[in-house]
Amino acid sequence: MDCTEQENHIRVPHYGGCQLKFVNFEAEENTVSHETQGLSKAQLVVRRGKPFKLTLFFRGRSWSPLLESLWLEVCLGRLSERIPVRISDRSCCSLAWWAAVYPGDVHSQSVTVHLCSPVQSSVATYQLLLHIEDANCRMSYVVGTFVLLCNPWLKDDPVYMPLDVHIQEYVKSDYGLIYMGTHLNVRSRPWSFGQYEPGVLEACLQLLQVSPQHLRDPDKDFLRRADPAYLSRVVCAMVNCNDDMGILEGRWQGSYAGGVNPVEWSGSADILHRWVSSNCSPVRYGQCWVFASVLCTVMRVLGIPSRVVTVFNSAHDSDGNVKITEFYTSTGEKLGLSKDSIWNFHVWVECWMKRPDLGAFFDGWQVVDPTPQEKSAGIFCCGPCPVAAIQSRFLGAPYDASFIFASVDADVVQLIVRNGAVVGRRVDTECVGQRIYTKSVNSDRPENLTQTYKGMKRRQPVRRAHSPERRVPRSVRTEATEERLKPRSAVLFNSCPALLSSTPNNAPVMNTLSSGEIPPGLEVSLSIDGVPLLGESIRMCVTVTNHRSSSRVLREHVSAQVKEYNRSPQESFWTAHRELHLSPCQALKLHHIIPHPQYEAILTGDQVVNVAVVIKDLKTKERVLAVQEFNMSPPQISIQIEGGNGIQMNQEHTAQVSFTNHFPETLIGAVLTVKASGLLQADQEARLLILEPGEQIQKKVSIKATSPGTKLLMATLSHGSSPSIVSRTFHRVSVTA
């Protein structure tokens, strides 16, 4: 039956039976029982596989099961199912829709009905109809709508989580931490997922309605929405706008005019509200952590446990060979010749679910990555891919296992090129996937997930002969998988294809090192002293060890370049060269300092420094490369909330924001800006023409929250000597009703 063709209220002349007056959806009791408080004020939100109550009030007399039968009808578009209302004293099975009236629930003017969906019902907004029938006629009513979500509390639901503390963290919490920077200097920033903000649930449901899958075939899409793997793939593609009416447009370089710089976002609600209010036009702009955080919000709203995960030194393997090639000049400058790349950090999402399509081995956390990098089955999405498949190197597992494996475990082939020829080569098997972090449960500390992706012994294939129930089906292995399962040697010197591009002088790069050649005994390492602070000198140490029994005359070349976290570096802003003499078996430490004035004009707290050293033996022409990338720690902005970080809704509170100039130089035209979605009506600024070393600039603002949940205050400091933000600080505020 097509529900859309039914009238709201079909009257029958002279009908003497009971007639519906109104329906109470018992929202307060149902939302508490279903753990959906705060998701919506406009409609009832419940979870699948669990009964919920609605009270039917009648005009005239109440319903008599001896005289009339009651039927409920649930509708999704053109799909519908009629459910007889039975008198029962117990719940029925969760494999089909059922409706029951318990003894004692029939009163003089009302009756309470308990309605339950199948445990694997589709996530959607349902229309509910009521039919009252006797031997002669039928009265039909459209009684309202309700939203059905996944149920991680229910054991038979594919998203079931055994521990309630995990559900609280990965479904109900509206606050998270995003880890950024480099593996040498991990920084965290808070994010407000905002699932309890007004309109967010409705935006997430609208996202499903405007997906290509739904627009192409609504009935098929509705039916498939029972599967969390399908849902995650649809939402993943819809978070970016590359193929559809998605939420975010990405931009990684150039001007952010006409939109918002990705580093300025602090929560998902503002992004979702902008998308809805613009009639599903893409919001500008996003980068990986923004895409991932919005995806995490949508999945938590739909009831699928999710967490944001950061991979430090994440490889983007564009050609699918599970290797990343990098090029350096003979003086240590990194070249942007490769189509492959390594991001200092990359952020994706893990979603928790069973995978009956693959087998129990693949149940649990699944990688879902909405950042548009490569197409998967023709669309810009990635996953869901089981983390267990990555750890066990079963690269044939859907979806996109090979690409994700390369992101956390690819080899890096670093080539030194000169006059179009490869004059040195180094293979780093440990660089990629240095750390993999997510927020810990009930804590702001990071949880290290590295071993869940890479295992205890990276170079050994995982074998589980002693655990048959965990054995991966042979059917998911491909020839590429079997090849990848073979143990790899510690150092690879495969021949390099004649190479992706040309050197700056347009001479083609030729591979002149023979396969299997191992450089003779010269060892070079590069380390950074401590965590460099913006405004202070950068200090580093190059250690050169001569393992030969003869002396060496060497030439050292050191190069420092500024880069964004996901791109090739710019030209060198600092270099150093010197000649060295090493005695037999001698180790020499070479210290270098980059003063603040030499990077002040080009380096900000959001950028990364790539430092490389090339040591050349002047006699043998042997060259050895060592590389290190690091980020600077910016000076902190102080934010203090009067009375503490917990505030009451609709009450004014004062926030004191201040910055002390710890730079050795005077800052000209200092601007302290305070922003807070959900706390401030407009941005607030304090300006100071001259900010001397040690002097403070401050701003006092009045904040008031109109809805409960986690809000974020963001403060930034900029000055006229630098076009970029010098410091950015986020501060969490908990709002209670």
Name the catalytic one among 157, 174, 369, 617. Answer: 369
Nearest one of 344, 405, 55 to 183, comparing CA atoms: 344
Pairing label, strands 248-250, 283-286: parallel
DSSP secondary structure code for residue 89 in this structure = S
How do beta strands 9-10 and 138-149 pair? antiparallel
Tokens at residue 577, please? 């060269």
Task: Name the one residue in this structure whose structure tokens are 């004035």.
Answer: 597
Q: What is the largest CA-CA distance in the chain?
A: 113
Residue with tokens 């959806």: 25
Total count of residues recorded for the chain = 737
**Start-to-end C-alpha separation, the chain:** 44
How far apart CA 388 and CA 362 sit, in angstroms, is: 6
Question: Two tokens at 729?
Answer: 């600080």
The DSSP secondary structure of 302-350, one letter per residue, reads TT--EEEEEEEEEEE-SSSSSEEEEEEETTS-EE---S-EEEEEEEEEE
Asked, as a colleague might, if the bond just before 597 is cis with ω within 30 of 0, I would say no
DSSP designation for 362:
G
Residue whose tokens read 């669990």: 50
Choice among 288, 351, 381, 382 that is catalytic: 288
CB 368 within 8 A of CB 300: no
Radius of gyration of the chain measured on its C-alpha atoms: 31
Helix or strand run (H / E) with residue 59? strand 52-59
Q: What is the spatial distance between Cα 234 and Cα 214, in angstroms, rounded to a whole number? A: 10
Residue whose structure tokens are 């859309």: 4
H or E, element range at 191: strand 185-192
Residue 288 known to be catalytic: yes
> Could you count the other beta carbons within 10 Å of the beta carbon of residue 150?
28
Across the strands, what pairs with 666? none
Q: Which residues pair with 588 in a beta bridge?
A: 544
Token couple for 93: 């099975």
Is the CB of residue 557 less than 8 Å from the CB of residue 331? yes
Distance, CA of 88 to CA of 151 (rounded, Å): 24
Question: Do the Cβ atoms of 363 and 353 come closer than 8 Å?
Answer: yes
Beta-bridge mates of residue 523: 545
Rounded to whole angstroms, the Cα distance separating 537 from 533 reads: 8
| Strand positions, DSSP E, 444-486 | 446-448
Q: Where are the alpha helices (DSSP H) in 410-478?
A: 450-454
- For residues 248 and 366, give the distance between their C-alpha atoms in angstroms, rounded to a whole number: 22
To the query of whether residue 346 is one of the catalytic residues in this protein, the response is yes
SS3 of 638, please? strand
Q: 46-81 burial, b for 16+ CB within 10 Å, e for fewer?
A: bbbbbbbbbebebeeeebeeeebebbbbbbbbebbe
Beta-bridge partner residues of 144: 128
* Among 403, 404, 458, 455, CA closest to 431: 458
Amino acid occupying residue 117: S
**Phi and psi dihedrals of 637, rounded to 5?**
-105, 130
Whether the Cβ atoms of residue 115 and residue 54 lie closer than 8 Å to each other: yes
617 is catalytic: no
Q: How far is CA 521 from the centre of its chain?
A: 44
| Pairwise CA distance, residues 176 & 438, whole Å | 9
Which is the catalytic residue, given 114, 316, 346, 653? Answer: 346
Query: CA–CA separation, 376 vs 385, rounded Å?
Result: 12
C-alpha span between 615 and 137 (Å, rounded): 94
Question: Would you name the residues annotated as active-site residues?
Answer: 288, 346, 369
